[in-house]
Amino acid sequence: MEQIINSLLENDLYKFSMGQVIYHQFSDYKTTWDFKCRNKDVYFTSEMVEEIKEQIKLYCNLRFTENELEYLHSIKWLKGSYVDFLRLWQPRYEDFEITTDADCGLTIETKGTWLNTSMYEIPALAIVNEVYFRMAYDYDELFESFKKRLDEKCEKLKDGKLELGNFSEFGLRRRLSAKAQEIAIEKLADLSGKMHGTTKFIGTSNVYLAKKYNLTPVGTMAHEWIMCVGQGNHKHNPAYSNWYALDAWVKEYGILNGTALTDTITTDCFLKDFQLTYATLFSGVRHDSGDPFEWGEKMIKHYKNLGINPQNKTLLFSDSLDFERADKLYKYFSKKINVAFGIGTYISNDTDVPALNIVMKTTKCNGMDVAKISDTPGKGMCRNPKYEHYLTRCIDWRMQND
pLDDT digits (tens, 9 = 90+) for 194-229: 887 889 999 999 999 999 999 999 999 999 999 999
Q: Which of 348, 381, 397 is the endpoint of a domain?
A: 348
Cα distance between residue 84 and residue 325, in whole Å: 42
pLDDT at position 394 is 96
CB 145 within 8 A of CB 349: no
pLDDT at position 20 is 98
Confirm whether 317 is domain-assigned. yes
Claim to verify: residue 122 and residue 157 sit in the same structural domain: no
Report the chain's terminal Cα–Cα distance, integer Å.
55
Claim to verify: residue 256 and residue 278 sit in the same structural domain: yes
**CATH value at residue 341:** 3.20.140.10
* Closest to 68 (Cα-Cα) out of 166, 196, 207, 217: 207
Predicted confidence (pLDDT) per residue in 174-201, tens digit: 999 999 999 999 999 999 878 878 899 9
Is residue 243 within a helix (H) or strand (E), and if so which, with residue range? helix 241-253
Q: Which of 319, 348, 377 is the endpoint of a domain?
A: 348
Confirm whether 384 is domain-assigned. no
Claim to verify: residue 148 and residue 273 sit in the same structural domain: yes
Cα distance between residue 392 and residue 372, in whole Å: 10
Query: For 120-124, 161-165, 178-182, which range has the lowest pLDDT when averaged over its residues?
Result: 161-165
DSSP classification of residue 356 = P
- What is the tally of structural domains in the chain? 2
Confirm whether 34 is domain-assigned. yes
Cα distance between residue 215 and residue 209, in whole Å: 8
Q: Torsion over CA of 144, 150, 153 and 157, rounded to 10 degrees?
A: -140
Domain span at residue 218?
A: 139-348
The mean pLDDT value for 38-61 works out to 97
Predicted confidence (pLDDT) per residue in 244-282, tens digit: 999 999 999 999 999 999 999 999 999 999 999 999 999
Helices then strands (H, E): number in the chain? 16, 12
